[in-house]
Amino acid sequence: MGELMRRYWHPVGLSGDATATPRVVRILGEDLVLFRDGSGKAGLLYPRCMHRGTSLYYGRVEQRGIRCCYHGWLFDVAGHCLEQPCEPNGGERRHNVRQPWYPVEERYGLVFAYMGPADRQPPLPRFDVLDELADGEFVEADDSSIGSGGPQVVPCNWLQHFENVMDPFHVPILHGSFSGMQFTNAMASMPWVVFEETDRGIRSTSLRTIDGRTFRRVTEAVLPTLRVVPSPRVGQFARVESIGWTLPIDDTTYRIYVAGRVREHGELGRMRSRYGGKTWFELTDDEHRAMPGDYEAQTGQGPITFHSEEHLRLSDRGIAMLRRMLRTQLDAVAAGRDPIGAGADAPSTIRLDAGNFLEP
Amino acid sequence: MGELMRRYWHPVGLSGDATATPRVVRILGEDLVLFRDGSGKAGLLYPRCMHRGTSLYYGRVEQRGIRCCYHGWLFDVAGHCLEQPCEPNGGERRHNVRQPWYPVEERYGLVFAYMGPADRQPPLPRFDVLDELADGEFVEADDSSIGSGGPQVVPCNWLQHFENVMDPFHVPILHGSFSGMQFTNAMASMPWVVFEETDRGIRSTSLRTIDGRTFRRVTEAVLPTLRVVPSPRVGQFARVESIGWTLPIDDTTYRIYVAGRVREHGELGRMRSRYGGKTWFELTDDEHRAMPGDYEAQTGQGPITFHSEEHLRLSDRGIAMLRRMLRTQLDAVAAGRDPIGAGADAPSTIRLDAGNFLEP
Amino acid sequence: MGELMRRYWHPVGLSGDATATPRVVRILGEDLVLFRDGSGKAGLLYPRCMHRGTSLYYGRVEQRGIRCCYHGWLFDVAGHCLEQPCEPNGGERRHNVRQPWYPVEERYGLVFAYMGPADRQPPLPRFDVLDELADGEFVEADDSSIGSGGPQVVPCNWLQHFENVMDPFHVPILHGSFSGMQFTNAMASMPWVVFEETDRGIRSTSLRTIDGRTFRRVTEAVLPTLRVVPSPRVGQFARVESIGWTLPIDDTTYRIYVAGRVREHGELGRMRSRYGGKTWFELTDDEHRAMPGDYEAQTGQGPITFHSEEHLRLSDRGIAMLRRMLRTQLDAVAAGRDPIGAGADAPSTIRLDAGNFLEP
């Protein structure tokens, strides 16, 4: 799965996280150092200095790159070694070595990295729902793991969360009856659902009837990890407001970066779940147990759940389709082909169908 | 050893621990969920819901069983699936699946579970010393690990504790001289001891002389884990007052459940060791080191001691006999036979010899 | 490497650490119990009592040795079993068994242990710089890990520290520019350096020019782990003041014991590094990152660094020589020969060259 994940761009921080202070970030099981040099370029380097292995976290960011504290080797954002001050003449063979690095690009307030093979690097995709803004709208980024229903860093495998996107049936149970009404009345009834493959992932369409009209809710799971989920509070009937990237920190932890259209700063952060006026962090252990939400349901499956112990049923069809699509992409990578949405020929813009719609 | 242990009933909690609030208990290396349904029946289920693996700890206890928070499957105390609300018609094939469960029974204020093969399930045994009560006596249960000399959950292998029951020689050293007089003068002298096999375990008889009369103290180690130890404070000369079940939580932790005849509520709890007026929890690290008791001696052997490094001597004969008896039972289980005191034909009542007796 | 280390004496505590209170010490990956019997002899025993495995940490120190708390076996400082009080006649065969032990000797305020083969035991060496005292000088010992630039117990492999002794080039970078001027102006310029093999380790000679005169600084890495480093603050021009033993606690932690010539009690301890008036312990995480020193540079290489990822250059010649010498000694031990400075014929006194010297 790691090789498949590496064929796509992943968010590694807010743009504001890349500064003159080196920052350790963990992505796909690797610890890396994120920084921004004096000319404004963000860099993502392997943390162990290639000379003697000291962490560049203790390095000093300068105009042209980051300098290791131990013997002063200076590296630019692409890992080139610019200075070796303890060597005669500043290191005449310094151009023969290079610090391991990954390419980064910034968009929608996020820093993205590509950790796969260089010759298969896709363009960093744009999304219609974040590019086509109405008057007064702008795009804001959030790193608080909106949608996990819990803390910023969630202690379970990312797929346990991602599958939840294709599981509309849990909504009336977990969110509609179990812990009181977490969302809205419109969501509390059992929907009629269609799951479909798209050219980018799996799409679910949930149909409910409201006052004699059809409430159509479309949710998408876009490969590799994108949750495209309209607001479950259904404040308006409209195309999806935001995209969430489920970042696998490693096999047993994940976090979510979100970018979305807003009209006020901080609007995304206010989407975080609240139970009885309390945030997740303010609940007692007893309240977590008595009022479980997505966090409890998903981490309750353990650090990595056992598919071998599951008993999937008709209502799990979306999950089965998502797993099958992932398995097909794993086979493609193993066979030397590009998985969907990846590779040098991948589309540079993705149009999405998700949203809450009220139909006549 | 795990297979042998599974051939017997073990306590998994006080009766009061089984309630409408699910409780995670750990027994023989397994985490399980204990609860009591609305009709009053206690249940012990595998915690991962068989549908998608979410922990039933987050479930809701109802009249007929426990309901998983994620998709609402309802299970009764024997693991039958009663409802699958996300499925068409409530899940027409729900009777084909069953959540893993263990049978439980309640007695003497404790909930017992049997985790072995169904066709070899023994009756939950009764004990004469807990059934034959004098006027004013009643049976009380305690979960504070009386006899461990330490905390409720003890960080070492259960056998390190259980062997101590057949080690009367340590009493005058560890409890009689090392840490001051932990018990009574009667126990501080080196006894003359006979060890014997019984049909249920090993029995030690320690003889001492008090004022020209013979003080006979009989202690029993009953398989699989029962400590049958008369009060070491010898407040009276009588048959044993209580039975302690040494529960292997897993290979490196254990706890003790006790049931005993008392005349006042809380009488058992007052038996807990005290040194200089302090409980074990109130001692400083230096005091633990300077005044070691059973807890320090047994956990001081490490999480799992190394028999290969021991040098047993004549005074260790009871320990050797107990190990040999356990080994014989391991062989019996491996050969498809029932170990002593187990199997469908096991006795339903056990009579015990233990006590402090003063003889003419 | 462990077998090589065991061919030498290592410090295991200050002399004041060996008392009537047993103390657990960890050396070369082994936990041992250090104590001093009633006659004043220090002892270092394997902690698990050879009888039933209880830790002698809970033992009682007596005139003739240490007594296990569980069954009262008494051992002297050389592991002989003197009493077995639970056995008939006090244990008639007690002379047939022996608790594992290591020889210890005391010198320079430190307790040293030899953990290697008995027939290859070298004399505990003396050092000229600690034996030849000027008027008013005396030798003092310190256990605060002077020279690590960090806490008493340092969480990385000892070799990462020991190599730093043969790395004079890092001084003007790490200590001279990166974190402000940690030492003195004399040390802040890049030196001209010669590395040489000696009969006891590797010696570096750094030459700098001060006011037209030659400042010659000689540092030695003496096998197995001795740092012989003149004061980097260069308060005087003189032979080296102290010796530091880099004790491998285990593969991923080390500490440093120092003995040195002083004129006032506590003089060694005042050598500990300070940054902006704060000790290492008082710095915030941000200050550690912004002002790295030896601790950050060496632990920043990870618990055990990867030589396979390094790129050594000309300025790393001293490190390469030290590694080669260690490898030669590993080969010697493997071939059944004595490594340098070890074996029964090892020199009893070592003369050192290290110091800060000002030459005409």
Compute the residue count for chain A: 360
Which residues neighbour B79 within 8 Å (Cβ) at sequence distance 6 or greater?
A: B45, B98, B99, B100, B101
What was the pLDDT predicted at C99?
A: 98
Task: Determine whether B96 is exposed, middle or buried from the number of CB atoms within 10 Å of its CB (0-12, 13-18, 19+).
Answer: exposed
Which of A38-52, A166-180, A181-195, A257-271 is predicted least confidently?
A181-195
Asked whether residue C183 carries a pLDDT value surpassing 70, the answer given is no
Asked whether residue B180 carries a pLDDT value surpassing 80, the answer given is no
Determine what percent of chain B is predicted with pLDDT higher than 90.
82
Asked whether residue A173 carries a pLDDT value surpassing 60, the answer given is yes
Closest Cα to residue C12, out of C40, C43, C37, C41?
Answer: C43
Give the burial string for A28-44 (b: 16+ CB within 10 Å, else e): bebebbbbbbeeebbbb
Asked whether residue B214 carries a pLDDT value surpassing 70, the answer given is yes
Which residues neighbour B68 within 8 Å (Cβ) at sequence distance 6 or greater?
A: B49, B51, B54, B56, B58, B59, B74, B75
Asked whether residue A181 carries a pLDDT value surpassing 60, the answer given is no
The SS3 call for residue B56 is helix
What was the pLDDT predicted at C188?
A: 75
- Residues of chain C with Cβ-Cβ distance to A99 below 8 Å are none
Per-residue model confidence as pLDDT tens digits over A213-233? 999 999 999 999 999 999 876
Which residues neighbour A219 within 8 Å (Cβ) at sequence distance 6 or greater?
A: A165, A166, A168, A203, A204, A206, A228, A229, A230, A354
Give the burial string for C85-100 (b: 16+ CB within 10 Å, else e): bbbeeebeebeebebe
Per-residue model confidence as pLDDT tens digits over C253-276? 999 999 999 999 988 887 666 677
CA angle in degrees (0–180, nearest 5) for B351-B356-B357: 95
**Strand B242-250 vs strand B253-262: parallel, antiparallel, or unpaired?**
antiparallel
CA angle in degrees (0–180, nearest 5) for A278-A283-A284: 150
Considering only alpha carbons, which residue of chain C is nearest residue A22? C289
Per-residue model confidence as pLDDT tens digits over B13-25? 999 999 999 999 9
**Contact call for B69 and A302, based on CB within 8 A:** no
What was the pLDDT predicted at A180?
A: 64
**Contact call for C173 and A54, based on CB within 8 A:** no
Per-residue model confidence as pLDDT tens digits over A296-341? 999 999 999 999 999 999 999 999 999 999 999 999 999 999 999 9
What was the pLDDT predicted at A183?
A: 63
Query: Residues 71..100 of A with a Cβ closer than 8 Å to C: which?
Result: 71-72, 84-88, 91, 97
Contact with chain C for residue B304, Cβ under 8 A: no
CA angle in degrees (0–180, nearest 5) for C63-C69-C71: 105
What was the pLDDT predicted at B187?
A: 72
ipTM summary value: 0.93
Asked whether residue C302 carries a pLDDT value surpassing 90, the answer given is yes
Which of A249-258, B245-254, B259-268 is predicted least confidently?
B259-268
Contact with chain C for residue B314, Cβ under 8 A: yes
CA distance C117 to chain B (A): 21
Cα C227 versus chain centre, distance: 8
Asked whether residue C133 carries a pLDDT value surpassing 60, the answer given is yes
- Residues C69-92 have a mean pLDDT of 95
What was the pLDDT predicted at C179?
A: 67
Task: Tell me if B235 sits within 8 A of B242, measured CB to CB.
Answer: no
Q: How far is CA C250 from CA A244, B53, C5, in A?
A: 45, 41, 11
CA distance B50 to chain A (A): 6
- Residues A107-116 have a mean pLDDT of 98
- Residues of chain A with Cβ-Cβ distance to C150 below 8 Å are none
Query: Residues 115..144 of B with a Cβ closer than 8 Å to A: which?
Result: none
What is the torsional sign of CA A50, A53, A56, A61?
negative
Task: Tell me if C48 sits within 8 A of B301, measured CB to CB.
Answer: yes
What was the pLDDT predicted at C189?
A: 82
Contact with chain C for residue A70, Cβ under 8 A: yes
Substitution target in C31, C34, C51, C54 with the highest count of B β-carbons within 10 Å is: C54
Who among B54, B60, B87 is closest to A301 (CB)? Answer: B54
- Residues of chain B with Cβ-Cβ distance to C52 below 8 Å are 301, 305, 310, 312, 316
The SS3 call for residue B4 is helix
Per-residue model confidence as pLDDT tens digits over B126-161? 999 999 999 999 999 999 999 998 999 999 999 999
Query: Residues 20..39 of A with a Cβ closer than 8 Å to C: which?
Result: 21-22
Task: Determine whether B26 is exposed, middle or buried from the number of CB atoms within 10 Å of its CB (0-12, 13-18, 19+).
Answer: middle
Contact with chain C for residue B308, Cβ under 8 A: no
Asked whether residue B273 carries a pLDDT value surpassing 70, the answer given is no
What was the pLDDT predicted at A178?
A: 74
Which residues neighbour C253 within 8 Å (Cβ) at sequence distance 6 or greater?
A: C153, C154, C155, C156
- Residues A79-94 have a mean pLDDT of 93
- The upper half-sphere exposure of residue A29, i.e. CA atoms within 13 Å in the direction of its Cβ, equals 8
Task: Tell me if A162 sits within 8 A of A322, measured CB to CB.
Answer: yes
- Residues of chain C with Cβ-Cβ distance to B174 below 8 Å are 69-71
Asked whether residue C300 carries a pLDDT value surpassing 70, the answer given is yes
What was the pLDDT predicted at A184?
A: 66
C37: which 2 tokens? Answer: 């019997």
The predicted model scores a pTM of 0.94
Q: Please give the radius of gyration of chain C, using alpha carbons only, rounded to the nearest integer.
A: 22
Substitution target in C192, C206, C310, C313 with the highest count of A β-carbons within 10 Å is: C313
What is the torsional sign of CA A97, A99, A105, A106?
negative
Type of residue numbered A137:
E
Determine what percent of chain A is predicted with pLDDT higher than 90.
82
CA distance B104 to chain C (A): 37
Asked whether residue B194 carries a pLDDT value surpassing 80, the answer given is yes
Per-residue model confidence as pLDDT tens digits over B285-301? 898 999 999 999 999 99
**Contact call for A69 and C316, based on CB within 8 A:** no
Substitution target in A173, A204, A288 with the highest count of B β-carbons within 10 Å is: A173
What was the pLDDT predicted at C177?
A: 73
**Strand B349-350 vs strand B126-127: parallel, antiparallel, or unpaired?**
parallel
Q: How far apart are CA B217 and CA A331, in angstroms?
A: 72
Asked whether residue C340 carries a pLDDT value surpassing 90, the answer given is yes
Considering only alpha carbons, which residue of chain A is nearest residue B70? A174
Considering only alpha carbons, which residue of chain B is nearest residue A193? B86
Q: How far is CA A317 from CA A196, B215, C93, C327, in A?
A: 10, 74, 74, 61
Q: What are phi and psi of A11, to 5 degrees?
A: -75, 140
Q: How far apart are CA B229 and CA C37, in angstroms?
A: 37
- For A4, the enclosing helix (H) or strand (E) is helix A2-5
- Residues of chain C with Cβ-Cβ distance to B314 below 8 Å are 87-88
Between C54 and B273, the higher pLDDT residue? C54
Which of A98-107, B65-74, B175-184 is predicted least confidently?
B175-184
| Chains contacting C (3+ CB pairs below 8 angstroms) | A, B
What was the pLDDT predicted at A211?
A: 85
Asked whether residue C204 carries a pLDDT value surpassing 60, the answer given is yes
What is the torsional sign of CA B55, B60, B65, B68?
negative
What was the pLDDT predicted at A360?
A: 80
DSSP B227-263: EE---TT--S-EE--EEEEEEEEETTEEEEEEEEEES
CA distance B108 to chain C (A): 33
| Chains contacting B (3+ CB pairs below 8 angstroms) | A, C
Per-residue model confidence as pLDDT tens digits over B321-357? 999 999 999 999 999 999 999 999 999 999 999 999 9
Query: Residues 48..67 of A with a Cβ closer than 8 Å to C: which?
Result: 48, 50-55, 57-58, 60
**Taking the CB of residue A248, how many other CB atoms lie within 10 A of it?**
24
Which residues neighbour A333 within 8 Å (Cβ) at sequence distance 6 or greater?
A: A3, A4, A7, A339
**Contact call for B50 and A315, based on CB within 8 A:** no
What was the pLDDT predicted at B272?
A: 67
- Residues C230-234 have a mean pLDDT of 77
Per-residue model confidence as pLDDT tens digits over C40-76? 999 999 999 999 999 999 999 999 999 999 999 999 9
Substitution target in C175, C315, C322 with the highest count of A β-carbons within 10 Å is: C315
- Residues of chain B with Cβ-Cβ distance to A309 below 8 Å are 48, 50, 53
What was the pLDDT predicted at A270?
A: 78
Substitution target in C162, C311, C312, C317 with the highest count of A β-carbons within 10 Å is: C311
What was the pLDDT predicted at B236?
A: 77
* Confidence band for A273, pLDDT divided at 50, 70 and 90: low
What is the torsional sign of CA A116, A122, A124, A125?
negative
Per-residue model confidence as pLDDT tens digits over B45-61? 999 999 999 999 999 99
Helices then strands, each counted (H, E), chain B: 7, 24
Contact with chain A for residue B153, Cβ under 8 A: no
